[in-house]
Structure formats: C-alpha cells, structure tokens
Amino acid sequence: MALDRAATLRADPAWVTRRVSDPASRAVFASRDGVLVGEHPGQRTLVRRSLADLPAAGAALAGPILLGLERDQALFAVDLGALPRASLTALTRGAEVIALRAAAALLARSEAGLAAYLGALLNWHRTNRFCPNCGTATRVAEAGYSRRCPSCGAVHFPRTDPVVIMLVESDGRLLLGRHAGWPPPRYSVLAGYVAPGETLEEAVIREVREESGIDVRDPRYVASQPWPFPSSLMLGFEASSEGGEPTAGDGELEDVRWVTLEAVRAAARGQSAELELPNRVSIARMLIERHLSAQRA
C-alpha cells in the first residue's frame, strides 16, 4: 500500500486542521456495504474527491479520519452515510459501492490494500462510538487512529484479531473442513481465533484438536495476511499429524476429512466436481498451492 500513515504528524491537531482545509487533500468513501469504486472498466480504483468540496464529512463520526499521505497529499476516509443527499448523488454518479471481499479480488493489489484499510477503519469508528469502560460517547483522536472518552479519559484503538489458519498434512493427505454455510463442495484448511494467553503455536494445536479431534505437532509459521472482514489478521501455519479419524467437534464445522493430494490438485486446476478450494486471494489457498508446489519439487 503506497500510503504513509503519518503516525507522528497526525498527533498534531494544527497540522490536521490545515490538511482538512487544504484544497489538495482528497477523500475516499465507504458505507456499511462496501467501498466506493469508479464504474468505468479503465478506472477500477477507489473514487477520490477533493475533501474541500465535502463540508460535512467529519461530522457523523465526531472528527476527521485521516488514512495517511498519498504522494504528499492527505487522504481522508469519509462515511457515505454521513453525507447530505446532494453530495451523495453527485459522488455516486459513475461509481458503485462494492463489498470489501469483492474489492479485494477486483482492485490492483495496493489499491485493494487501501480499500481494506478504509473499510476496516470506518467500520471500527462506526461500531465504536461509545466508551466500553463507562458508556459515554467518544470522539475521534489522533485524526482517526484512536477514539478518546471525554468522561473517563480512556483511549481506544482499532482492534485486529489474530487468527491462526493451518495446513495440516499427514502421509500425502490434507485435513480440510467445511462450514455449513459454504456453497458445496467448498472445503478449506482449518482456522480459528487465538485465545487470550496462548502462543500462536498453542493456538494451532488447540484449534485443530477442537475442530477435528486430530493431534498435530511442530507448527511452522509460513506467512500472514490481513483479512478485514471485519478485522482479522490471518497467521498461516503448516503442521504435521500422525493421522487418525477426524470428527467435526465443536459445532463450527459441518464436515472435516482427509483429502488426498491428487484430489486437491484436481480441484486446484478446477477439474473436480467433488471439491472446490477457497478463493485465490485467500491465504488458505496460498497455503494449499504452496504445499502442492513443494510436493512437486
């Protein structure tokens, strides 16, 4: 993402005020439903408009929300729900609101990163307008990095929930499961939130046991991916197992089973009627493709 988050500058209220009235400052837009993207095939990017043309932009969330500096121009996040109808009509001409998941697949990589950041940050401000410590309405602080409670003084930051996601292999087979809500025949690797007080490696072992009854050993970190639906950070692992009969344990999964590499390979090529793998932009798919490549090599 080609954005400088301006961690130091944003703490200076005078600098932020100047950026708000600076004609060079730009805004990008999101609503509860997604981010605002240009409609024309040649410009599948977030719609950018001069912030100065949007006088009421900061009002609804109690303060302006700065994403950062893009080529030295301030870039603000504006909630479409906070705009007067006339601005909204003008803005959405030749543009459409696209769900964050769809935007991740549609936009170029750095623009998709910006869209995810925009969507996640506005969503956090929208759903965190009150102090969890004392119940008072909070206000934007540090140009959107945090919210501050005028009553008890508590400062609240956006949360990022760590999630472990793990490819488990045993003797040429992968452990895959499916949620009841998924379109059949979609299966994926297992995943779950890290619980308070545990390491990532402990979380991998616990989650696989809870979701499948299978014991794994030696979890190895592979890569991470932010997944802003709404605010997860996926931490990808590989782990090995002696095998055993998996059983969907904790009510999260509808089915969990060992799948041969041959069957996974056919699904990866789109040549399987029995198995569909997760979307190519997901870290789940990346873990699977990486394992297949390593086995071929």
**Is residue 81 a contact residue for a copy of itself (CB under 8 A)?**
no
| Among the residue ranges 49-57, 90-98, 179-187, 230-238, the one whose residues contact a copy of itself (CB under 8 A) | 230-238
| Among the residue ranges 70-78, 89-97, 191-199, 267-275, the one whose residues contact a copy of itself (CB under 8 A) | 191-199
Nearer to a copy of itself, 194 or 264 (CB): 194
Binders of a copy of itself among residues 22 to 61 (CB under 8 A) are: none
Helices 283-296 and 261-268, axial angle in degrees (round to 10)? 120
Q: How far is the CB of 124 from a copy of itself (least distance, A)?
A: 8
3-state secondary structure the chain: CCCECCCCHHHCHHHHHHHHHCCCCEEEEEECCEEEEECCHHHCCECCEEHHHCCCCCCCCCCCEEEEEECCEEEEEEEHHHCCHHHHHHHHCCEEEECHHHHHHHCCHHHHHHHHHHHHHHHHHHCCCECCCCCCECEEEHHHCEEECCCCCCEECCCCEEEEEEEEEECCEEEEEECCCCCCCECECEEEECCCCCCHHHHHHHHHHHHHCCCEEEEEEEEEEEECCCCEEEEEEEEEECCCCCCCCCCCCCEEEEEEHHHHHHHHCCCCCCCECCCCCCHHHHHHHHHHHHHHC
In the stretch 244-263, what mask flags binding to a copy of itself with x, by CB under 8 A?
A: -----xxx------------
**Is residue 116 a contact residue for a copy of itself (CB under 8 A)?**
yes
Q: How far is the CB of 46 from a copy of itself (least distance, A)?
A: 13
Q: How far is the CB of 137 from a copy of itself (least distance, A)?
A: 7
Cβ atoms of residues 188 and 178 within 8 Å: yes
In this chain, which of 45, 73, 146, 225 binds a copy of itself, going by CB under 8 A? 225
**Is residue 70 a contact residue for a copy of itself (CB under 8 A)?**
no
79 vs 17: CA distance, rounded Å: 19
In this chain, which of 35, 77, 83, 194 binds a copy of itself, going by CB under 8 A? 194
| Among the residue ranges 34-42, 86-94, 113-121, 166-174, the one whose residues contact a copy of itself (CB under 8 A) | 113-121
Q: How far is the CB of 258 from a copy of itself (least distance, A)?
A: 23
Q: How far is the CB of 160 from a copy of itself (least distance, A)?
A: 6
Nearer to a copy of itself, 87 or 237 (CB): 237
Q: How far is the CB of 184 from a copy of itself (least distance, A)?
A: 25
Tokens 């605010």, located at residue: 231
Which residues contact a copy of itself by CB under 8 A?
Answer: 1, 5, 7-8, 113, 116-117, 120-121, 124, 127-137, 154, 156-162, 193-201, 206, 210, 221, 223-226, 228, 231, 233, 235, 249-251
